[in-house]
C-alpha cells in the first residue's frame, strides 16, 4: 500500500535517523560533480577539434606574425591533455595542471575562474552570471505556465474520459507537440504584437514581455505534461484501492484531488525534471527570436566564435542548474514514493 510523505507510518524519520538518505544524497552529490566535469571534458574536446580560434579573434588584415604572437600569448600551442612522451608530464606531476590547456582550465574552475572570454575580454563566468537570471526567469515562467495549464487539463480529460472535452484537450496537446518552437514564436509575434498590438514583440522588461516567450518555450512541455497527466490519472483511477474508496462513499472530488493526484504525480514530476533541462537548453531558439538577453543566446554566439572560456562557463552553469534541479526532484521523489530503493 502507499503511504504519504507526511505520515509517520512511512518511517521517513527512521531513514533520516539511520542516515540511509544522507548517504544516498552524498553519493548523488559526488556523482553529479563527476558528471559536470565529464561534460566539460567533452565540450573541451569537441571545441578543440578544428584547431584554435586565433584566426577568428584577429581582424581580417592581421599578418601571420600577428596571429602567431597571439597564439603564443593565449597558450594555444600547449598540449590539450598530455604530450608525447607522457612521462615528461608525470614529474613533477603538477605539470599536468600548469602546462596543459585542460589542466589550466581545471585549476581555474576549481577556484571558480573560467578565464576571460576571448571575444569580450571580460571574465567568462561573470558574463554568464549576468545573463543567468534572465534565462532562469524565462525557464521558470515557461514551466509554471506549462504545469498550471497542463495538469488541470490532463486531470479534466482523465476524469471526463472520451467526452468532447477530453478529445479537444488532447488534440490541442498533440498540436502543441508538433509545432517547431520558432514557428510558434514568430506566429505569436505577428499576431499578438504586430496585428493586435496586445503584447510587446521582443526584449525583457515588464511581465508583458515575459508572456509570449514563456508560452512559446513552454508549449511543448505543456502538451507533453497534459498527455502524461491524463494517462497517469487514468491508470491510477483504475486501481483497486480507488474503486474501494469510491465504494466506501468518498466524494469524487476528494478522491481525485487527495488520493489519485498524489500517485499520478510521480511520473509527471520525473518529466518536469527532465524537461527543465530541455527548456534550459532549448531556450536558445526562443531567446534568439524574442531577443531575450539570456545565456542561451550568449552560448550560441560563443560556440560560433570558438570562445572556449565562455562556452565552458555557459555549459557548465546550465548543467549545474540542471543537476541541482534533478537533485531536488530526487529528494521530492523520496517523499512522494517511498518505495524507491536506495542502492
Partner 1 sequence: MSDASIAIGIGEAAAERENRWGLGRLLRELLRNKAALLGLVILVTIAAAAILARLVAPYDPLFQEVTQRLKPPGWTTPEGRISLLGTDHLGRDILSRLIFGARISLIIGLSAVAMAGTLGTLIGLVAGYRGGRIDDLCMRLTDTMLAMPFILLALAVIAVLGPSLRNIILVLGITSWVSYARVVRAEVLSLRTREFVSAAKALGGGGSRIVFRHLLPNVLTPVIVIATLEVARMIILESALSFLGLGVQPPTPTWGGMLADGRAYMTTSWWLATFPGLAIMLTVLGINLLGDWLRDVLDPRLQL
Partner 2 sequence: MRKWTAWIWMAALVLALAPAAWAAPSGKVTVAQGVDPTTLDPQDHEETPAFNVLLNIYDTLLVRDKNLKITPWLATSYKLINPTTWEFKLRQGVKFTNGEEFDAEVAKFSLERMANKALNLRMTALRVISRVEVKDKYTIHIITEKPFPTLDAHLTLRGAMVPPKYFKEHDKAFLARNPVGTGPFKFVRWVKDDRIEFEANEQWWHGAPKIKTLIFRPIPEETTRMSALQTGEVDIATNVPPHLVKEIKNHPKVTVSSAPSVRTIFIPLYNVQCEMIQGSYDCTKPYPGPTAKAKVRQAINYAVDVDSIIKNVLEGQGIRTATPLTSNHFGYDPKLKPFPYDPARAKKLLAEAGYPNGISLMLHSPNGRYPKDKEVAEAVAGQLTQAGIKTELKVYEWTTYMNNVAYRHGGGPMWLIGWGNTAWDADYTYTPMFRTGQVLANYWNPEFNSLLEDGQTTMDPKKRLQLYAKAGRFFLDDPPAISLYQQIDNYGVSRKLNWTARPDERIEGFSISLKP
Q: Does 314 bind partner 1 (CB under 8 A)?
A: yes
Q: Does 316 bind partner 2 (CB under 8 A)?
A: no
Q: Does 213 bind partner 2 (CB under 8 A)?
A: no
Q: Does 298 bind partner 2 (CB under 8 A)?
A: yes
> CA–CA distance from 266 to each of 46, 60, 259, 313, 321 (Å)?
36, 56, 13, 33, 21
Q: Does 47 bind partner 2 (CB under 8 A)?
A: no
What would the x/- binding string for partner 1 be over residues 211 to 250, using CB under 8 A? -------------x--xx--xx--x---------------
For residue 106 the three cell numbers come to 581545471
- Which residues, 9 to 48, sit near partner 1 by CB under 8 A? 31-32, 34-36, 38-39, 42-43, 46-47
Beta bridge partner(s), residue 116 = 123
Q: Going by C-beta distance under 8 Å and a sequence separation of 6 or more, which residues neighbour residue 45?
A: 80
Q: State the binding partner of 58 from partner 1, partner 2, none, CB within 5 to 8 A by kind.
A: partner 2
Beta bridge partner(s), residue 123 = 116
For residue 133 the three cell numbers come to 537570471
Instruction: Kindly report the backbone phi and psi dihedral angles of residue 268, in degrees, each rounded to the nearest multiple of 5, phi listed first.
Output: -65, -40
- Of 139, 166, 135, residue with least CA distance to 272: 139
CA 275 to chain centre: 7
- Which residues, 107 to 146, sit near partner 2 by CB under 8 A? 116, 119-123, 127, 130-131
Residue with Cβ nearer partner 1 (99 or 235): 235
- Which residues, 271 to 310, sit near partner 1 by CB under 8 A? 271, 273-274, 277-278, 280-282, 284-285, 296, 299-300, 303-304
Quickly tell me which residue has 586565433 as its cell: 54
Rounded CA-CA distance 4/16 in Å is: 16
The number of helix segments (H) and strand segments (E) in the chain equals 15, 0
Q: State the binding partner of 32 from partner 2, partner 1, none, CB within 5 to 8 A by kind.
A: partner 1
Residue with Cβ nearer partner 2 (16 or 56): 56
- Which residues, 161 to 190, sit near partner 2 by CB under 8 A? 186, 189-190
Running DSSP on this structure, what letter comes out for residue 93?
T
CA 337 to chain centre: 23
Residue with Cβ nearer partner 1 (156 or 319): 319
Q: Does 194 bind partner 2 (CB under 8 A)?
A: yes
The count of residues interacting with partner 1 (CB under 8 A) is 64
Of 6, 9, 50, 73, the one binding partner 1 (CB under 8 A) is: 50
Element spanning 242, H or E: helix 240-248
Which of the stretches 192-200, 239-247, 256-264, 318-326 binds partner 2 when contact is defined by CB under 8 A?
192-200
What would the x/- binding string for partner 2 be over residues 242 to 281, using CB under 8 A? ----------------------------------------
In whole angstroms, how large is the CA radius of gyration of the chain?
A: 25
DSSP line for 206-221: SHHHHHHHHHHHHHHH
Rounded CA-CA distance 23/11 in Å is: 17
* Residues 299 and 27: beta-carbon distance below 8 Å: no
Instruction: Kindly report the backbone phi and psi dihedral angles of residue 200, in degrees, each rounded to the nearest multiple of 5, phi listed first.
Output: -70, 155
Q: What does the binding site for partner 2 look like in residue numbers (CB under 8 A)? A: 50, 53, 55-64, 66-68, 70, 73, 116, 119-123, 127, 130-131, 186, 189-190, 193-194, 197, 200-204, 288-291, 293-294, 297-298, 304-306
Q: What does the binding site for partner 1 look like in residue numbers (CB under 8 A)? A: 31-32, 34-36, 38-39, 42-43, 46-47, 49-50, 174-175, 177-183, 186-187, 190, 224, 227-228, 231-232, 235, 266-267, 270-271, 273-274, 277-278, 280-282, 284-285, 296, 299-300, 303-304, 311, 314-315, 318-319, 322-323, 326, 329-330, 333, 337, 339-341
Amino acid at each position: 500500500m502507499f503511504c504519504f510523505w507526511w505520515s509517520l507510518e512511512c518511517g521517513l524519520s527512521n531513514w533520516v535517523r539511520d542516515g540511509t538518505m544522507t548517504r544516498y544524497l552524498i553519493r548523488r552529490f559526488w556523482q553529479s560533480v563527476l558528471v559536470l566535469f565529464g561534460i566539460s571534458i567533452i565540450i573541451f574536446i569537441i571545441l578543440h577539434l578544428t584547431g584554435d580560434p586565433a584566426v577568428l579573434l584577429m581582424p581580417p588584415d592581421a599578418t601571420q606574425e600577428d596571429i602567431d604572437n597571439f597564439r603564443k600569448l593565449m597558450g594555444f600551442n600547449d598540449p590539450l591533455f598530455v604530450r608525447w612522451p607522457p612521462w615528461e608530464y608525470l614529474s613533477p606531476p603538477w605539470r599536468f595542471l600548469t602546462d596543459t590547456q585542460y589542466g589550466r582550465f581545471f585549476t581555474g574552475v576549481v577556484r571558480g575562474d573560467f578565464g576571460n572570454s576571448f571575444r569580450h575580454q571580460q571574465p567568462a563566468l561573470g558574463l554568464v552570471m549576468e545573463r543567468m537570471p534572465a534565462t532562469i526567469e524565462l525557464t521558470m515562467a515557461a514551466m509554471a505556465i506549462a504545469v498550471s495549464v497542463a495538469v488541470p487539463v490532463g486531470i479534466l480529460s482523465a476524469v471526463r474520459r472520451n467526452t468532447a472535452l477530453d478529445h479537444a484537450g488532447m488534440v490541442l496537446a498533440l498540436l502543441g507537440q508538433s509545432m517547431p518552437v520558432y514557428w510558434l514564436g514568430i506566429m505569436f509575434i505577428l499576431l499578438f504584437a504586430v496585428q493586435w498590438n496586445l503584447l510587446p514583440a521582443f526584449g525583457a522588461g515588464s511581465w508583458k514581455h515575459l508572456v509570449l516567450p514563456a508560452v512559446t518555450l513552454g508549449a511543448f512541455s505543456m502538451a507533453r505534461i497534459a498527455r502524461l497527466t491524463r494517462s497517469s490519472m487514468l491508470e491510477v483511477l483504475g486501481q483497486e484501492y480507488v474503486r474501494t474508496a469510491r465504494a466506501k462513499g468518498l466524494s469524487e472530488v476528494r478522491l481525485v484531488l487527495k488520493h489519485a493526484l498524489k500517485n499520478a504525480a510521480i511520473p509527471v514530476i520525473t518529466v518536469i525534471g527532465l524537461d527543465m533541462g530541455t527548456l534550459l537548453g532549448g531556450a536558445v531558439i526562443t531567446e534568439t527570436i524574442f531577443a531575450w538577453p539570456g545565456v542561451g543566446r550568449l552560448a550560441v554566439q560563443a560556440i560560433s566564435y570558438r570562445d572556449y572560456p565562455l562556452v565552458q562557463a555557459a555549459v557548465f552553469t546550465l548543467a549545474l542548474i540542471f543537476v541541482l534541479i534533478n537533485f531536488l526532484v530526487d529528494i521530492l521523489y523520496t517523499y512522494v514514493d517511498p518505495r524507491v530503493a536506495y542502492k
